[in-house]
Chains A and B, each alone.
Chain A
Amino acid sequence: MALVRKIIAQSTVDGPGNRTAIFLQGCNIRCAYCHNPETQAMQDAEAKEMSVAEVMTEVRKGIPFIRGITVSGGECMLQAEFLTKLFQAVKALAEEVHHPLTCLIDSNGTVPFARHPQLMEVCDGVMLDVKAWDSETYHLLTQARNDEVVKENLAWLLQHHLLTEVRIVCLPKRVDVEVILQNIAKIFDSIGEKAPARLLRFRPHGVIGELANHPMPSDEQMAEYAALAASLGLTATVK
């Protein structure tokens, strides 16, 4: 069983192609810019306990219109065992209906993927958030101190060809975007593998707390980040 916050049957913003997106309840960090803070608590009256079979009933409705599923959160890796069973069920369904389906994870990278080999066997890729590079910056943004795990995950996923994309929420002063870009470029070079980077513009929509009314970074600022990424040899898209 997993605690499911929401299932979106048709999502065009959670990975490549058209996907069914499943949002699990509960997160282990507290990002100041979180745009769905209602999914942070480990328990919530609006979240629903669902079995793999119940989630699969929803996934089935998307055949043959979806390319796969994306599980997000909250932090979905906190329910890794459920993910393993869900992804196994999705792969079985793909065989049954002769329609390829991919299983992606959208994660903050604070749970080591290397410790879940069975899950990684049925997972087609991870969209990894890199919140900040500097440990203090990370702590100020997330109230957490698990950033070393994120960096280890970044390298591990890259080595195992499971890094679908790196996501960076761009919020000047609060996020060290330039440092992140420089360091992921370094890691890409040292491993000799690459993954696309997605530069997400901070948007106050849904945000609560100190950043609720914070302005979005300007087009010029986003263009500067994109230019830096390009100069570092990264394939980056701005959204």
Chain B
Amino acid sequence: MADIYSIVTSQKLSYEQKVVALAHAAEDTLSVLPMPERTRFYFDKGVICNLNEGNAPYRPRYIMPDYEKAVKQGVKFLELDPPQDFDELLTFLQVLYRHVPSITTYPVFLGDLDKLIEPFIKDLSDEEVKRKLRNFFIYLDRTITDSFCHANLGPEATRAGRLILDVDRELEQAVPNLTLKYDPAITPDDFAEQAIYTSLCVANPAICNDVLNAKTYDRYGISSCYNILPIAGGSYTLTRLVLPRLAEMTKDKEEFLTKLLPEAMKCMADYMSARIRFIVEKSGFFESHFLAKERFVERDRFVAMFGLVGLAEAANHFAPEGKKYGSDAEADEIAEQIMDAITAFVDAYECPYCEIANHRLLLHAQVGIDTDYGITSGIRIPVGDEPESIYDHLRHSSRFHRYIPTGCSDILPFDITGKQNPAAVLDIVKGAFSLGQKYIAFYASDSDLVRITGYLVKRSEIEKWNKGQAVLQNTTQLGAPTYASAHLANRKVRGV
């Protein structure tokens, strides 16, 4: 109760943030999910972590509505007819976004924004479109006060896509997070270069390897912190395994790989299955929510994300003294053994209600949370251990990205000279993608907006928060401690 009192009386939380925190506190008074003794043990040790998903899930964690379908047929529950012009479309989307639930209470996916907009702007000048888009983006940034919110572009170049990039660069906002789906056979260089240039100005958009990620499902989108999920579906849950904490509990690699890791994975998978069952069988979401009833999402298009964090530290734990993940073959081989063991487990484990994933849990390189100290995001190389050569860095990521279907990424700060030659950065992206890199994000070393672990935060907002002032974006509260604890200011800056 002391916790609730401190939420009610906080001066650092905005009104909306208090409401969400109180709802969370209420949910956590329930205990409806089975928690066997060993599962409880791994939770208590911080090995399994449900990322504050709450004790009684009443909606899937991430929802990816089929906005294209909604725009075509209208939304009965919201009394919205199909939009007829650009103004109507923007109003339609604003209303619909407001009603898309998620773990953050805000929509984590805003759709293929360029494709949604393109048919409505034929008769408008660039200036008219940009003026309306500016207002739309300001509305999104100030009402979706959480940058785990993602709109997608590409892979085709469209006029809408180019105008969205222009407006994004002018406004310099944390929301919406943008990702360009990039396919060298479809995306023209000049469009990709515009995206990279924008990214070196405002840390947005990130670039997704469309060739590889498109193979994951029939239709995919990028949501939240670069989650690769089925459109018209989403993910029930994201629970994560904190590998270094488990490694520290074992006496050697053998015990880790053959005893504790399999046991912890089984506990986590059973726990995730229980969450899925509760959402599907008890919460009533799929029976009552308009997104399901009007079939903007389909129950059988939801997956469940089996998260991993700290592969680097786990591998380093078992590697010979001084050998490091990212630069030494010995440590990398151990990391591969760990990934092989995890892959074998999820390939064999059958989970309920995940038809689109062949009833399997899908691996996700979880980015970490603000209270992770000394634990590196997913499968990334720790800040400070990056190889001297960017090429070696990207070769390494490509080797490990192949294990992860529902999202993994690298974030590279670039020297500002990169801005003068986006084509050079595109060459690097093309090379990395051809080797198997799935997703890459940039920002310029002098940019106010920075990518923390996948989401965007303004350095100027972090300073405000650190001084004890209330800030608009929830993600600033997560980003401020992470920026410090993960030493992100020390990320190796690439360029010449």
A and B from one complex: yes
Q: B-contacting residues of A (Cβ < 8 Å)?
A: 8-13, 16-19, 61-67, 239
Give A97 Cβ to nearest chain B Cβ, in Å. Answer: 11
A64/B434 in contact, CB under 8 A: yes
In angstroms, how far is the closest chain A Cβ from the Cβ of B22?
Answer: 50
Query: Could you tell me the distance in whole angstroms from the C-beta of A66 to the nearest C-beta in chain B?
Result: 6
Q: Which residue from chain B places its CB closest to the CB of A237 in the assembled complex?
A: B420
Instruction: Look across to chain B and name the residue whose beta carbon is closest to the beta carbon of A61.
Output: B391
From residue B195, how far is it (CB to closest CB) to chain A in Å? 16
B433-466 interface mask toward A, CB cutoff 8 Å, 1 = contact, 0 = none?
Answer: 0110000000000000000000000000000000
**Cβ contact within 8 Å between B391 and A12:** no
Set A9, A17, A63, A64: member contacting B389, Cβ < 8 A = A9
**Separation of A16 and B390 alpha carbons in the complex (Å):** 19
Would you call B394 and A17 a contact (CB within 8 A)?
Answer: no
> Do most interface residues of chain B lie in helix, strand or loop, or is the interface mixed?
helix
Closest 10 CB pairs of A and B: A65-B431, A18-B427, A12-B424, A18-B424, A12-B421, A64-B431, A17-B427, A17-B423, A65-B428, A67-B427
Closest beta carbon of chain A to B232's beta carbon, Å: 35
* B430 at interface, CB cutoff 8 A: yes
Q: Provide the bound-state CA to CA distance between A63 and B434, in Å.
A: 11
Task: Report the bound CA distance from A9 to B421 in whole Å.
Answer: 16
B interface, CB within 8 angstroms of A:
389-391, 394, 417-418, 420-421, 423-428, 430-432, 434-435, 494-496
Q: How far is the CB of B455 from chain A (nearest CB, A)?
A: 27
Query: Are B421 and A64 interface neighbours, CB within 8 A?
Result: no
Are B495 and A12 in contact, with the CB atoms below 8 A?
yes
Q: Which of B391, B423, B426, B435 is close to A10, meaning CB atoms less than 8 Å apart?
A: B391
Contacts of B417 in A (CB 8 A): 12-13
B427, A13: Cβ atoms closer than 8 Å: no
Task: Name 20 extra pairs, CB < 8 A, besides A8-B496, A18-B421.
Answer: A10-B389, A10-B391, A10-B424, A11-B424, A12-B421, A12-B495, A13-B417, A13-B420, A13-B421, A13-B496, A17-B421, A17-B426, A18-B425, A18-B427, A19-B424, A64-B434, A64-B435, A65-B427, A65-B430, A65-B431
A contact residues around B391 at 8 Å (CB): 9-10, 61-62, 65
Which B residues are in CB contact (< 8 Å) with A17? 421, 423-424, 426-427
Report how far A62 CA is from B434 CA in the complex, Å.
13
Expressed in whole angstroms, the Cα–Cα distance for A65 and B421 within the complex equals 14
User: Smallest CB-CB separation from B494: which chain A residue?
Assistant: A10
Which residues of the other chain, B, contact A16 by a CB distance below 8 angstroms? 423
Report whether A11 and B496 are in contact in the complex, using a CB–CB cutoff of 8 Å: yes
Instruction: Tell me, rounded to whole Å, the shortest Cβ–Cβ distance linking A18 to chain B.
Output: 4
- Chain A residues, Cβ within 8 Å of B435: 64
Q: How far is the CA of A67 from the CA of B423 in the complex (A)?
A: 10
Q: Is the CB of B496 within 8 A of A12?
A: yes
7 contacts between A and B (CB under 8 A): A8-B496, A12-B417, A12-B425, A12-B496, A13-B417, A17-B427, A65-B432
**Smallest Cβ distance from B397 to chain A, in angstroms?**
13
- Note all chain A residues with C-beta closer than 8 A to B425: 12, 18
Most buried by B among A9, A64, A67: A64
Distance from B97 Cβ to chain A, minimum over Cβ atoms (Å): 38
